[in-house]
Amino acid sequence: MSATVDVLAVLKEKFPSATPRPSLDLPAVNLPVGDVPAALKFLRDEQGFDFLVDLTAIDWAEGVAPRFTVVYHLLSTVRHDYIRVATDCPSDESPAVASVVSLWAGANWHEREVYDMFGITFTGHPDLRRILMWDGYPYFPLRKEFPLAGIDTPLPDAEIMAETGARVIAAPMAGGPFVAAPGEINLTEAEPRAKDESWNERRAKPDA
Amino acid sequence: MVTTNTEIAYNSKIEGEVIVSRMDSVINWIRTNSMWPMPMGLACCAIELMGTASSRFDIARFGAEVMRFSPRQSDCMIVAGTVTYKMASAVRRIYDQMAEPKWVIAMGACASSGGMYRSYATLQGVDRIVPVDVYISGCPPRPEALLDALMKLQAKVRLERSATNLRRA
């Protein structure tokens, strides 16, 4: 751990804006959005954190400011140590941070996924398209206000929608979420099923 | 019943190389015993589909061992796995490219109803975009269940009015 403490101290010296971030596992640091590319480049080139393990984001819910936080997990294959770097997006309406694809090519798809799920744009990204949902999908599914079941929208293919009459529907939850019973010896009983089967698509949910 | 005929099966010398049957049963007999699947393997059910095709379960016993990855050459689409909305268009397009007559087996909970994926990304049952003939329960179903579904589909095809349908088409 001593080596890691050194990293935080060195980082703090180099970037005085860095603040310690509460963490139960890895050493972590908060940085203002403007310092992130320079700090990550510093960590990669001078501190040996050569591997971007993960790049993800947090939505702290509507009304919270700042609303979006982007998180980078770095691993040093030289000193066998992790570090977590987090940065708050300054805008809640159109959150944006600088892309780090120029530092790690592997950041490309991670940033596309974060853009797809949270609507955070990465400035300077070479090809910022959706990666999981289809092009033209109007929502960002991992934002807090988006329901798990989804929202009624047209199918991605207009021709197929005209042919079949199918749409993207809000999934019927019917007592869900649907979970398997772990540790069940009887496999029929262990099949994934709704916790509350007193209501379904045809029978309305009884008033609580 | 007393009869002088001791032949118990088809004898070409007596029958004169002629078998009398109905068009329907001849056509259906051909169709049921060479039903080539279009393996629409989208998730873990596809592993069971592969197991069904392999030697232990041997789907060849039912004439359905020729997995065709071209929709033009296949008769029965086996939708094995979770169909996302993004994939749904492709599934429907491949179904449209299959030549008539064609059938669909929805294999497993996900293909039948969306299964445990009650989410924004998953099609809630493949029967919303293609007509399904046989549904299989299970997550994933065992190979025996797939064989059972295939036999049920064959039983269904045997009852079809194929000759009448041909004339109509």
CATH number of the structural domain spanning residue B150: 3.40.50.12280
Closest residue in chain B to residue A152, using alpha carbons only: B120
Three-state secondary-structure class, residue A167: coil
What burial class does residue A17 get, using C-beta atoms within 10 Å of its C-beta: 0-12 exposed, 13-18 middle, 19+ buried?
Answer: exposed
For residue A183, the model assigns a pLDDT of 81
Q: Please list every residue in chain A whose beta carbon sits closer than 8 Å to the beta carbon of residue B120.
A: 139, 141, 146-151, 168, 171
Min mean pLDDT across A162-171, B10-19, B28-37 is at: B10-19
Min mean pLDDT across A146-150, B57-61, B72-76 is at: A146-150
Domain that holds residue A10: 2-132
Whether residue A138 is contained in a domain is answered as no
Q: List pLDDT tens digits, range B130-165.
A: 999 999 999 899 999 999 999 999 999 999 888 888
**Tokens standing for A11?**
């980082």
Q: Which residue has the tokens 């989804």?
A: A150
Interface list for A 109-168 with B (CB within 8 A): 132-134, 139, 141, 146-151, 155-157, 160, 163-164, 166, 168
Whether residue A24 is contained in a domain is answered as yes
Whether residue B27 is contained in a domain is answered as no
Three-state secondary-structure class, residue A101: coil
Domain that holds residue B127: 36-168
User: CATH number, domain at A93?
Assistant: 3.30.460.80
B161 touches chain A (CB under 8 A): no
**Mean pLDDT of all residues belonging to chain B:** 90
Complex ipTM tops 0.85: no
**Which backbone phi and psi does B158 adopt, to 5 degrees?**
-60, -25
**Which backbone phi and psi does B94 adopt, to 5 degrees?**
-65, -40
For residue B144, the model assigns a pLDDT of 95
First-to-last alpha carbon distance for chain A, in angstroms, is 52
Cα separation, B167 vs B157, whole angstroms: 17
**Which backbone phi and psi does B159 adopt, to 5 degrees?**
-90, 0
What's the total number of domains in chain B? 1
Whether residue A81 is contained in a domain is answered as yes
Residues with Cβ within 8 Å of B2's Cβ and at least 6 positions away in sequence, in order, are none
Does pLDDT of A98 surpass 70? Answer: yes
DSSP annotation string for A17-28: T-EE---SSS-E
Cα separation, B51 vs B57, whole angstroms: 7
Q: Please list every residue in chain A whose beta carbon sits closer than 8 Å to the beta carbon of residue B109.
A: 191-192
**Tokens standing for A95?**
């959150």
**Tokens standing for B162?**
């194929």
Whether residue B75 is contained in a domain is answered as yes
Whether residue B162 is contained in a domain is answered as yes
Whether residue B47 is contained in a domain is answered as yes
Q: How far is B149 from chain A (nearest CA, A)?
A: 19
pLDDT range class, residue B1, cuts 50, 70, 90: low
Does pLDDT of A1 surpass 60? Answer: no
Give mean pLDDT, residues B89-111. Answer: 93
Whether residue A160 is contained in a domain is answered as no
What's the total number of domains in chain A? 1
Nearest to B124 among A147, A156, A171 (CB): A171
Q: Please list every residue in chain A whose beta carbon sits closer than 8 Å to the beta carbon of residue B119.
A: 148-150, 171
Whether residue A70 is contained in a domain is answered as yes
Asked if A58 contacts A34 with a C-beta cutoff of 8 angstroms, the reply is no
Q: How far is A157 from chain B (nearest CA, A)?
A: 6
Nearest to B120 among A148, A156, A166 (CB): A148
Cross-chain residue pair A176–B118, CB shorter than 8 Å = yes
pLDDT range class, residue A6, cuts 50, 70, 90: confident
Q: List pLDDT tens digits, range A159-207.
A: 999 999 888 988 877 776 677 778 878 888 887 777 777 776 677 777 7
Whether residue B41 is contained in a domain is answered as yes
Give mean pLDDT, residues A57-76. Answer: 92
Whether residue B5 is contained in a domain is answered as no
For residue B11, the model assigns a pLDDT of 80
Give mean pLDDT, residues A23-37. Answer: 91
Whether residue B78 is contained in a domain is answered as yes
Give mean pLDDT, residues A15-43. Answer: 92
DSSP B122: B
Cross-chain residue pair B118–A174, CB shorter than 8 Å = yes
Give percent of chain B with pLDDT exceeding 70: 99
Q: Please list every residue in chain A whose beta carbon sits closer than 8 Å to the beta carbon of residue B45.
A: none
Beta partners for residue B77, in sequence order:
B38, B104
Asked if A144 contacts A68 with a C-beta cutoff of 8 angstroms, the reply is no
Give mean pLDDT, residues A30-48. Answer: 92
Whether residue A16 is contained in a domain is answered as yes
Whether residue A206 is contained in a domain is answered as no
Does pLDDT of B8 surpass 80? Answer: no
Nearest to A171 among B122, B130, B138 (CB): B122
Whether residue B89 is contained in a domain is answered as yes
Give mean pLDDT, residues B13-42. Answer: 88
Cross-chain residue pair B85–A169, CB shorter than 8 Å = no
Whether residue A190 is contained in a domain is answered as no
For residue A208, the model assigns a pLDDT of 62
In 3-state terms, chain A is what percent helix, strand and coil (to 5)? 25, 20, 55
For residue B5, the model assigns a pLDDT of 73
Q: How far is A114 from chain B (nearest CA, A)?
A: 16
Give percent of chain A with pLDDT exceeding 90: 55
pLDDT range class, residue A5, cuts 50, 70, 90: low
